[in-house]
């Protein structure tokens, strides 16, 4: 992601240099941020279109068909697995995993930066999910619920948080220096968790498939937004340090 943003910034700087003799050094970052927001807005538009289609016959048949197919394969063993997975995607599950991640980041990376970034991603995704549930006000499926639920249905909070939390962990794992095999194993586990948490909500009868799709889209939007912003901040700070070093060098050489 950082390489792509650097390439975009270079293109913006080149364009501005061709158009203007002088321009504010912050302008390329502002324009790149605007492009980032446009990309995020596109994702939001897809989410809105899905939301507007909730009452259509097509989406109703889609929800019913998928839900029936999944609930018809219920077995005691699968029920135990999906109850465990759905609990892992609940508050205390994330608290446990978050504490483990915090310990690993502190002892192996000696940095609290990633912890703060994860917290921000979680706050944004959780806050937006609560607002969306309240504004859309979709009731839960009228079938047997195998777990207790108290909130509204759309979008799925479990799906949103799973995509946001584990999706951001996938990004961090991808960027960290470790063996390719270990990366593959960890990312595969994260993808499995995201899929299983989403599927568990349909299996347990507490969500429509469209709730899960909407939650995944919402979580993905926040992950992409935060990744781009974090990388822009990192590039901006690095460029500013280089400019300060160059200015100091020039001053000392005079």
- Nearest C-alpha neighbor of 153 from the set 211, 198, 71, 201: 211
Average pLDDT score over the chain: 77
- Residues with Cβ within 8 Å of 211's Cβ and at least 6 positions away in sequence, in order, are 138, 153, 154, 155, 156, 159, 201
| Both structure tokens of 247 | 């200015």
- The burial of 94, by beta-carbon neighbours within 10 Å (0-12 exposed, 13-18 middle, 19 or more buried), is given as buried
CB 114 within 8 A of CB 102: no
Decide if pLDDT at 15 tops 50. Answer: no
Contact 243, 188 (CB under 8 A): no
Quick: pLDDT tens for 158-189. Answer: 899 899 889 998 988 888 888 889 889 999 99
Q: Is the pLDDT of residue 48 over 80?
A: no
Closest CA to 220 of 171, 152, 149: 171
Model confidence, pTM: 0.75
Q: What is the mean pLDDT of residues 23-27?
A: 48
Supply the Cα-derived Rg of the chain in whole angstroms.
22
Q: Which among 210, 94, 71, 92 is positioned nearest to 146, based on CA atoms? A: 71
């Amino acid at each position: 992601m950082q390489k792509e943003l650097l390439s975009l910034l270079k293109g913006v700087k080149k364009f501005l240099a061709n158009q203007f003799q002088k321009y504010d050094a912050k302008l390329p970052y502002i324009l790149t941020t605007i492009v980032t927001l446009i990309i995020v807005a596109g994702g939001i538009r897809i989410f809105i279109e899905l939301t507007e289609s909730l009452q259509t016959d097509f989406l109703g048949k889609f929800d019913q068909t998928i839900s029936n197919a999944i609930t018809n394969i219920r077995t005691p063993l699968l029920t135990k697995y999906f109850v465990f997975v759905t609990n892992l995607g609940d508050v205390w599950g994330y608290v446990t995993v978050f504490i483990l991640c915090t310990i690993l980041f502190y002892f192996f990376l000696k940095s609290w930066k990633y912890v703060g970034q994860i917290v921000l991603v979680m706050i944004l995704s959780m806050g937006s999910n609560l607002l969306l549930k309240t504004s859309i006000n979709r009731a839960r499926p009228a079938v047997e619920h195998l777990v207790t639920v108290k909130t509204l249905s759309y979008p799925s909070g479990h799906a949103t948080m799973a995509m946001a939390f584990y999706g951001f962990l996938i990004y961090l794992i991808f960027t960290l220096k470790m063996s390719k095999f270990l990366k593959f194993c960890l990312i595969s586990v994260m993808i499995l968790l995201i899929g299983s948490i989403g599927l568990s909500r349909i299996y347990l009868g507490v969500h429509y498939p469209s709730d899960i799709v909407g939650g995944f889209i919402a979580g993905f939007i926040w992950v992409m937004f935060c990744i781009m912003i974090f990388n822009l901040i990192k590039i901006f700070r690095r460029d500013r340090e280089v400019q300060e070093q160059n200015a100091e060098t020039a001053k000392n050489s005079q």
